[in-house]
Amino acid sequence: MSQSLTDPLALLRSLEQAGLHAVIVVTGGGSQAIPHLLSTPGASAVVLECLVPYAREAIDRLLGGPQESYCSSRTARRLAVLAWQRACGLGTPPAAAIGVAVTASLRTRFPKRGPHRIVVAVQRLGATTVATVVLHKDARSRAEEEQVAAALLLEQLSSGGQSAGPRSGSVVLLDGEHVEIEHCSPPLAWQELLAGTRSAVHLGGGSSATRSGTESSQVAGDPAAGLLVFPGSFDPFHEGHRQMALIAQEVAKRPIDYELSVVNVDKPALDYMEIQSRAAQFAGRSLWLTRAATFVEKLDIFPEGIFVMGADTFTRLADPHYYGGSGEAADRAVQRIARQSRGMIVFGRERNGVFEAPACGDIPPPLREVTHCVSEQKFRMDISSTSLRSPTAADD
């Protein structure tokens, strides 16, 4: 059964009528969708940009580092968020932007160890959606698999990430094949956070309150002053983090609040499925979702806060490299940290097989009075989130 592609004129008209503007990212397969759209009159009213990062190095450059797997829901979601952010950066209002990405592992010259699969992710301000199909091996030619990938991309673009699945007949599959749909519609507060109209959202479980004094399982407000804050990506949250939190609470004599920034200086923002997954690790604990990608931004959100961090993060606070190469900017940042924070609790950590202890003797003078270095005798746990993230199925 041959695979045809969605009528591009009808698709583009539908998106234009909805006021949507799209950026598309394709890697591994499905690139036929691009000329199918762009050869249609009026495509420029909807499609802002198309990217085809084919080499892994090209994907790494876009996403800010190597991926655990290059054909997965997670990588597709990262690319879709990147596409959504690029659409916003090109002047599209967040609610009108749509990022679509496909990652595929298809038939090639040599037999693949892993499955032939296609993953399409769609990022909107109001939802994250992923459609995945595993194809029967050796049942189609490469060209036929490419057609399926393009058809799935176009179908998900047409639905805008809002439907429960592909429309009947839009993607032709063989017996035993099916499209699996994952969909996450976030709370309004998360949407405001991603759009940049909120700076922080509190997920309950702890004793933290906003400055207005309100407590809730989900508060889109400002943190109270003087919190003990443990920032991190927590991908995943592990025993080392738990032990650091216990020690920090002993030192600061107050409960701890965790902070997860949904935006990053060098990487795409977190999608809603990723936020949901990471936040779920903190059941019963106090967690803040923020837009504070840098430490200086965290100072604005957590006034007079005490911050928990590893030695590597602490070292970067005064490194000119992270201030555009400007020593003066680094000095100003250090002065501001010393002035606005109540302190920092610094832990050693293993990195590249070497334990990096807090170098308290090398602390810039302005920070010495507000920094507490935890000794290796008090804490050493050679575990990292990176080592715990096991790669998924092979892409080849």
Instruction: Report the pLDDT averaged over residues 104-127.
Output: 96
Would the pLDDT of 30 be above 70?
yes
CA distances from residue 183 to 23, 96, 187 in whole angstroms, order as listed: 20, 19, 13
Task: Determine the Cα–Cα distance for residues 336 and 318; give it in Å rounded to an integer.
Answer: 11
Judge whether residue 206 has pLDDT over 60. no
pLDDT of residue 230: 98
Domain covering 8-185 in this structure, CATH number: 3.90.950.20
Q: Specify the pLDDT at position 357.
A: 76
- Match 């599209």 to its residue by tokens: 92
Residue 269 is inside which H or E element, if any? none
Q: Is pLDDT above 60 for 179?
A: yes
What is the helix (H) or strand (E) element at residue 370, kind and residue range? none
Taking the C-alpha atoms of 268, 270, 271 and 276 in order, what is their torsion angle to the nearest 10 degrees? 170
More confident residue, 169 or 103: 103
Does domain 189-388 bear CATH number 3.40.50?
yes
pLDDT at position 209 over 70: no
Average pLDDT on 278-287 reads 96
Instruction: Determine the average pLDDT of the residues in 212-221.
Output: 45
- At 170 the pLDDT is 81
129/144 Cα distance (integer angstroms)? 25
Instruction: Decide if pLDDT at 330 tops 70.
Output: yes
* Residues near 165 by beta carbon (within 8 Å), at least 6 away in sequence: 131, 179, 181
Check if the beta carbon of residue 263 is closer than 8 Å to that of residue 293.
Answer: yes
What pLDDT sits at residue 352? 74
pLDDT at 220 over 60: no
Q: Where are the domains of the chain?
A: 8-185, 189-388
pLDDT at 208: 40
Q: Output the pLDDT for position 225.
A: 94
pLDDT for 148-168, tens place per residue?
999 999 999 999 877 555 554
What is the model's pLDDT at position 351? 76
pLDDT at 207: 40
Beta strands in the chain (DSSP E): 21-27, 47-51, 97-105, 116-124, 127-135, 179-184, 200-203, 218-219, 228-231, 256-261, 287-290, 306-310, 343-347, 349-351, 354-356, 371-373
pLDDT computed for residue 356 by the predictor: 77
> What is the model's pTM?
0.92
Q: Residues near 227 by Cβ (< 8 Å), separated by ≥ 6?
A: 208, 254, 257, 302, 305, 306
Return the pLDDT at 210.
36
State the Cα–Cα distance between residues 342 and 226, nearest whole angstrom. 7
Q: Phi, psi at residue 253, to the nearest 5°?
A: 60, 50
Of 283-297, 301-315, 376-390, the poorest mean pLDDT is in 376-390
Alpha-carbon span 372 to 109, nearest angstrom: 58
CA distance 199 to 222: 8
What's the whole-number mean pLDDT along residues 260-289?
97
When pLDDT is cut at 50, 70 and 90, the band that residue 65 belongs to is very high
Query: With pLDDT > 70 as the criterion, what percentage of the chain qualifies?
Result: 89
**pLDDT range class, residue 204, cuts 50, 70, 90:** confident
Contact between residue 114 and residue 54 where contact means Cβ atoms under 8 Å apart: no
Nearest by Cα to 248 from 236, 231, 266, 268: 231
pLDDT higher than 60, residue 203:
yes
- Banded pLDDT at 392 (limits 50, 70, 90): very low
- The mean pLDDT value of the chain amounts to 90
| Each residue's pLDDT tens digit, 50-63 | 999 999 999 999 99
- What is the predicted pLDDT for the residue at 364? 85
Contact of 292 with 199, CB cutoff 8 Å: yes
Label residue 222 by pLDDT band (50, 70, 90): confident
Say yes or no: do domains 8-185 and 189-388 share a fold.
no
